[in-house]
Amino acid sequence: MKSPAPSASATTSPPVLLRHAPGRGSLGGVGLVLAGSVSVQFGAAFAALLFPRAGALGTVALRVTMAALLLLAITRPRLRGYTCTDWAVVCGFGVALGGMNILFYQAIDRVPLGTAVTIEVLGPLLLSVVASRRAVSLLWAGLALAGVFLLGHGGFGQLNAAGVAFALGAGVMWAAYIVLNARAGARFPRLDGLAIAMSVAALVSLPLGIGASGGALLEPVALGLGLAIAVMSSGVPYTLELLALRRLPAATFAVLTSLAPAIAAVAGYLVLDQGLSLPQCAAIAMVVAASAGAVRTGNR
């Protein structure tokens, strides 16, 4: 799963962006962001190990439900005093969050983890290009599309078509997640909006997981792995990213999160023994460069 990525303001002055003087604080912030990204992607890799026991739908149900329970226990969100519009936003946020995870887990059940994340990141990249409204952003979009084209060796015949479609769908939901996350954050204090949205995502995914896996979800091994995946994919990265944002400008944070496809490829190789060819590695590098470039262009 993907964690909230903040947007940077082009008019923010340096004293506001640099909450700590450059040096150890900034380096520490970079380390926190990278550690959070590693936790997310390795959490996804370990989730794939649970697929033979609980299935993709069962695994995402365990992960999202346990993450929701953890967030509810920690934040204890206030439920009164909100308008119908507030609830519509946070419920939409939850549906996007649940849909993103369901589609992404379906994707990594069919294509390598690094490939799935590379295709999925097209959603946020397209959102960045549209939001920037700059002609140069089209060059970054073209570079990303060329990378995805190269990833399929000039065509997607060697990739599972359903897996590619699920990854693209997850990318669309990721873009919706970013927009709705920002709106929910403006309406709900602290992590209340995220906790409520995660609960909605659990209500979306749990029936599907029970229907697909049944009693397998209650096996001790499945529950233990589900809790570990929830901590790795939600608890640890959210905490690290909140700490990182106290040390880094939001723009730097966003560029660092663009490394997700490369980190996912490493996680897939180390945990799932999913090797990548040199052209595929080059394709991932192109998408990473396009994502970072689009973020920098948009912020300028």
Domain chopping of the chain, boundaries:
21-299
pLDDT of residue 297: 65
Both tokens of residue 230? 């929830």
Nearest to 63 by CA among 49, 74, 76: 49
Q: How far apart are CA 219 and CA 241, in angstroms?
A: 32
Q: How far apart are CA 60 and CA 99, in angstroms?
A: 10
Q: How far apart are CA 78 and CA 86, in angstroms?
A: 13
pLDDT band at 10 (very low <50, low <70, confident <90, very high): very low
Q: How far apart are CA 282 and CA 151, in angstroms?
A: 8
User: What is the three-class DSSP state of 239?
Assistant: helix
pLDDT, tens digit, for every residue of 274-290? 887 788 788 888 888 88
- How many residues appear in the chain? 300
pLDDT band at 240 (very low <50, low <70, confident <90, very high): confident
| Position 246 pLDDT exceeds 90 | no
CB 291 within 8 A of CB 124: yes
Strands of the chain (E only): list them: none
**Residue appearing with tokens 């959102």:** 127
pLDDT, tens digit, for every residue of 202-218? 999 999 999 999 989 99
Q: Which residues fall within 8 angstroms of residue 218, CB to CB, at 6 or more apart? A: none
pTM, two decimals, is: 0.81
* φ, ψ of residue 231 in degrees (nearest 5): -65, -45
CB 230 within 8 A of CB 62: yes
Q: Which residues fall within 8 angstroms of residue 83, CB to CB, at 6 or more apart? A: none
Burial class (CB in 10 A: 0-12, 13-18, 19+), 35: middle
pLDDT of residue 203: 96
CB 205 within 8 A of CB 95: no
